[in-house]
Amino acid sequence: MWNDVFQAIDEQYEQMVQTRRHLHQHPEVSFYEEETAQYIADTYKRLGVPYEKKVGGNGVLATLEGGKPGKTVALRADFDALPIQEENDHLEFKSQNDGAMHACGHDGHTAALLGLAEALVPFQDDLPGTVIFLHQHAEEYAPGGAKPIVDSGKLDHIDAVFGTHLWVNTPTNVIETAKGPFMAGADRFEIVIQGKGGHGAQPHQTKDAIVIASQLVTSLQQIVSRRVDPLKTAVLSVGTFEAGHTFNIIADSAKLTGTVRTFDPEVQQLIMEEMEKIIKGTCTGYEADYSFNYEKGYPPVVNHEAEAELVLQRSHEADSSLRTQEVEPVMAGEDFAYYLLEKPGAFYFTGAQISDHYYPHHHPKFDFDEKAMNHAAKTLLQAYRSYQEKHQNS
């Protein structure tokens, strides 16, 4: 049966492309994915697969019960877009929604999972266990969609969960994951400096917010280099610096925003405390006021070893062209972490690189090799199959 299902996925490829391009033309940003969720629900309605809408927000869960005994396994795809203006003018399916773009591959994730569902339905009676098609909203923006879906209790009955991310840093045909920590916890912060503005020719009468904030940008970098154990991993990056309006006026306020990435809760706590010390000390020295807001984001993605091993050892059974490799953790974040805190499972990257059009995730010219959608659908099915076979007598 499995070879027939994999062949059926191949036959769904053109439909996956059409689905992906439709979604790419009509992106919706996190928490506003109403039409996208309806499109997904309509697909399952057409297939005759029971589904639920509005799970944890805009999430959609569809359930395909196999005709043979087995485990219940969730396969996840996210479907939100980013607030980015697309610059891929060469694409016939360029975003039609100003200021919104699928710049991370979530349109491809959704198309792959829907294609897998289309391929599986005719084989329902022969399937072991139950497949949960987990379509998640709002991955891109904390607090995200995964946690409210978990909190809804709709996944309490599942035995395992798998998910993949199309990854343009990796060549097509390569599957990557790690046994254990795989993606970092992702936090964000905002610092507002309130000084005293004045004329550019009279700096002695001011408390220059730009100078103070500049000092902070430099000093904050010393937390990772001088306060964090060098055998631990951490990133602190300032992403925005907003201050001033006119060339000859010293700014009275400045705002810094940025992100902190960690794997270890103790390192995360250390960085928070050290940031507060540096900000307070710097502003005290300049006699300026400040506010500091630190938001803990998604926890680290930590794969369960046994499930990650299934991905690494058996993905090639889905397609002989695929090869797998175990990789070091990356500092990008993902709210798939919340599922893994509750259930066994694994998250992995599906290579999707376009050799002559490489732009990173979240870039306005981002694009991916659409053939990777086929690999994503097949490897998700293979993960489901491998888990069922491993636990068939338990």
Which residue bears the tokens 């003018």?
89
Tokens of 386: 């491998």
Would you say 240 and 257 are in contact if contact means Cβ atoms under 8 Å apart? yes
287 is catalytic: no
* Residue 2 in tokens: 């499995």
Closest of 380, 390, 320, 389 to residue 9, by C-alpha: 380
Secondary structure of residue 239 in the 3-state scheme = strand
Query: How long a stretch of residues is the chain?
Result: 394
User: Using CA atoms, how far apart are residues 313 and 209, in angstroms rounded to an integer?
Assistant: 55
Closest by CA to 350, choosing from 153, 108, 147, is 108
Q: Any known ligand binding at 199?
A: no
Collapsing DSSP to helix, strand or coil, 198 comes out as: strand
**272 vs 356: CA distance, rounded Å:** 41
Q: Where are the beta strands (DSSP E) in 233-336?
A: 234-243, 249-250, 253-262, 289-298, 301-302, 323-326
Distance, C-alpha 291 to centroid of its chain: 29
Q: Is 125 in the active site?
A: no
Q: Which one of 78, 80, 107, 367 is the catalytic residue?
A: 80
User: Does the annotation place 104 within a ligand binding site?
Assistant: yes
Rg (CA), the chain: 23
Ligand-binding annotation for 165, yes or no, is: yes
Instruction: Quote the crossing angle between the two packed helices 34-47 and 13-25, to the nearest 10°.
Output: 150
Partnered with residue 131 across adjacent β-strands are 64, 73
Calpha distance 301→212 (Å, rounded): 36
Task: Confirm or deny that 283 is annotated as ligand binding.
Answer: no
Which of 107, 139, 187, 369 is flagged as catalytic?
139
- Residue 245 annotated as part of some ligand binding site: no
Q: How far apart are CA 136 and CA 54, in angstroms?
A: 10
What residues act catalytically? Answer: 80, 139
Annotated binding site for Mn(2+): 104, 106, 140, 165, 362
Annotated binding site: 104, 106, 140, 165, 362
